[in-house]
Structure 1
Amino acid sequence: MRRVAIYPGTFDPLTNGHFDILNRSVEIFDEVIVAVAKNASKSPLLSLQSRCEILEICLKDFKRVKVESFDTLLADFAKKRGARVILRGLRAVSDFEYELQMGYANQSLNSELETLYLMPTLQNAFVSSSIVRNILGYQGKISHLVPKGVVEYLKAKGYECM
């Protein structure tokens, strides 16, 4: 049986923390589906299409990773893709309560789902998409917080970032 995991998020934008977790997850699973949530309630900076394009660029060398967008319940998306594991990153204790509730909710909707929590490496523990967006809003340097492909994509789209 193939081990398929889903790594869901808005990825607005992809950060080194996300990339770190993805890089380690491909060593554990046969296939990892990066599920980009539409999630308009978060008022994303980047369009769904742009977020998917950035991920495709940054993950082009990852042979066992697919990028897909979704606008459904995660538990249903996982079932349709044959995934039994949801990957989530935990940066701090403050993330844990929310992630635990989401894990339980997903399992109540799909009893075959397990949630696996991975911590980013220490150097990426403080990095979040919201921090990157805030720095980007002031034309600050983000190149140490995101993969190179993110900076190149954003520059090509007219964003001021280093």
Structure 2
Amino acid sequence: NYLFSSEERCAMIRESVAHLENVEVDVSSSLLVDYAKSKGAQVILKGLRTVQDFEFELQMALTNKKLDSDVETFFMVTNNQYSYLSSSVVRELMEFDGDVSDFIPPHVEKAIRIKYGKDARE
């Protein structure tokens, strides 16, 4: 149950990483390992916040390895200051007019406020 469509999420991510010349933002409806192969990628990088994330992502990494032994998955653990953060936490804060400015970029906050029908502060 996403607040934004795939295209909307891609657009926000693109804006967030526009300053990084070597980053491409894309979306696919195929298996990740197949998408990686179509792009010539040999590595999948996954971010982890919690032990639950690790358990799920390890299962996916092992499945991907079985499907294509040439694709490796690496895990990157988040900074402790963000480990508790999730989209659910941000949405709940927004619903109760909490300050989310330390958690998301201004353009994402504006988009969420518009979705919730709240004033889109600049």
TM-score over 0.5 for the pair: yes
Residue 74 in structure 1 maps to residue 32 in structure 2: yes
**CA contact 2:48–2:75 (8 Å) conserved in 1:** yes
**Superimposed CA distance per residue, residues 32-51 of structure 1 (whole angstroms, 9 cap, x where no aligned partner):** xxxxxxxxxxx211111110
Q: Take 2:88 and 2:77, find their aligned partners in 1: how far apart are those partners? A: 18
- Secondary structure in structure 2 of the residue aligned to 1:61: coil
Structure 1 residue aligned with 2:4: 46
Shift of 1:131: 2.0
How do 1:2-151 residues align onto structure 2 when only pairs under 5 Å count? 43-151=1-109
TM-score, structure 2 normalization: 0.85
Which is bigger in relative contact order (C-alpha 8 A, separation at least 6)? 1
Instruction: Rate the CA distance shift 1:62–1:53 in 2: closer, same or farther, 3 A.
Output: same
Say what the alpha-carbon RMSD is for the aligned residues. Answer: 2.0
| Number of residues of Structure 1 aligned to a counterpart in Structure 2 | 120
Letter of the 2:54 counterpart: F
Q: Tell me, in whole angstroms, the C-alpha distance in 2 between the residues paired with 1:159 and 1:60.
A: 27
Identity of aligned residues (%): 36
Q: Secondary structure of 1:68's partner?
A: coil
Q: CA deviation at 1:155?
A: 4.1
**Which residue identity lines up with residue 147 of structure 1 in the other structure?**
P
What is the CA deviation profile of residues 67-120 of structure 1, one whole-angstrom value per residue up to 9, with x for unaligned ones?
111101001000000111111111122221111101101111111111111111
Does the CA-based 8 Å contact 1:45-1:133 persist in structure 2?
no
Change (3 A) 1:107 1:149: same
Distance in 2, Cα, partners of 1:75 & 1:159: 38
Are the aligned partners of 2:94 and 2:113 in contact in 1 as well (CA < 8 Å)? Answer: no
Unpaired runs of 5+ in structure 2? Answer: none
Larger radius of gyration: 2
What amino acid sits opposite 1:86 in the alignment? I
